[in-house]
């Protein structure tokens, strides 16, 4: 078995908290630098994105489409080694659930997210969660 990064639980918890804040925040360069590794890869049904800049652009586009949304956790994350399973929901400004999903996060040795794999548990209306772009 290969050696893996073994972050402390508090480091992973802090990384997850930054991850949630990123999806709910405006532009904050410090938060972006502290959340994402330079080579982060985000793999979701909507496509594969590489680098923090691509994630910032994606968040901006989504925020323009879904003004006032909130990304929030639906329970406590599961954590082991350098990975976390995060179960989330997107809430509209009317407090209606828009979508739910599960993200698998992989952390680097500095506690930043270096990989995300997103699964849609309940996709938004009109979105095929199994279509890959």
- Asked if the structure places residue 47 within a domain, the reply is yes
Residue 128 lies in a domain: no
Confidence of residue 3 (pLDDT cuts 50, 70, 90): very low
The reply to whether 106 falls in a domain is yes
DSSP-based three-state secondary structure for 4: coil
Q: What percent of the chain has pLDDT over 90?
A: 68
Pairing type for strands 78-80 and 70-73 reads unpaired
For residue 3, is it within any domain? no
Return d(Cα 79, Cα 100) in angstroms, integer.
19
Q: Is residue 130 part of a domain?
A: no
What's the pLDDT at 1? 43
Can you tell me the distance from the alpha carbon of 88 to that of 74, in angstroms, rounded to the nearest whole number? Answer: 5
Q: Which residue has the tokens 């982060």?
A: 40
What pLDDT digit, counting tens, does each position of 54-103 carry?
999 999 999 998 889 999 999 999 999 899 999 999 999 998 889 999 99
46 torsion bin: left (phi>0), alpha (psi -120 to 50), beta (else): alpha
Contact 113, 55 (CB under 8 A): no
pLDDT band at 9, cuts 50/70/90?
low
What residue numbers bound the domain in which 29 lies?
Answer: 9-122
Q: Is residue 4 part of a domain?
A: no
**What's the total number of domains in the chain?**
1
Look at residue 83 and tell me if it is in a domain. Answer: yes
Residue 56 sits in a domain whose CATH number is: 3.10.450.50
DSSP 30: H
């Amino acid at each position: 078995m290969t050696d893996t990064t073994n972050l402390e639980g508090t480091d992973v918890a802090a990384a997850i908290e930054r991850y949630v804040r990123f999806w709910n925040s405006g532009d904050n360069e410090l938060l972006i630098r502290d959340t994402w590794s330079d080579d982060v890869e985000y793999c979701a049904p909507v496509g594969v994105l590489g680098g923090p800049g691509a994630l910032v652009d994606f968040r901006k586009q989504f925020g323009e489409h879904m003004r006032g949304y909130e990304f929030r956790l639906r329970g406590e994350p599961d954590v082991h080694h350098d990975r976390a399973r995060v179960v989330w929901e997107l809430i509209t400004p009317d407090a209606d659930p828009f979508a739910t999903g599960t993200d698998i996060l992989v952390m680097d040795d500095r506690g930043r997210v270096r990989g995300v794999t997103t699964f849609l548990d309940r996709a938004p209306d009109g979105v095929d969660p199994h279509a890959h772009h």
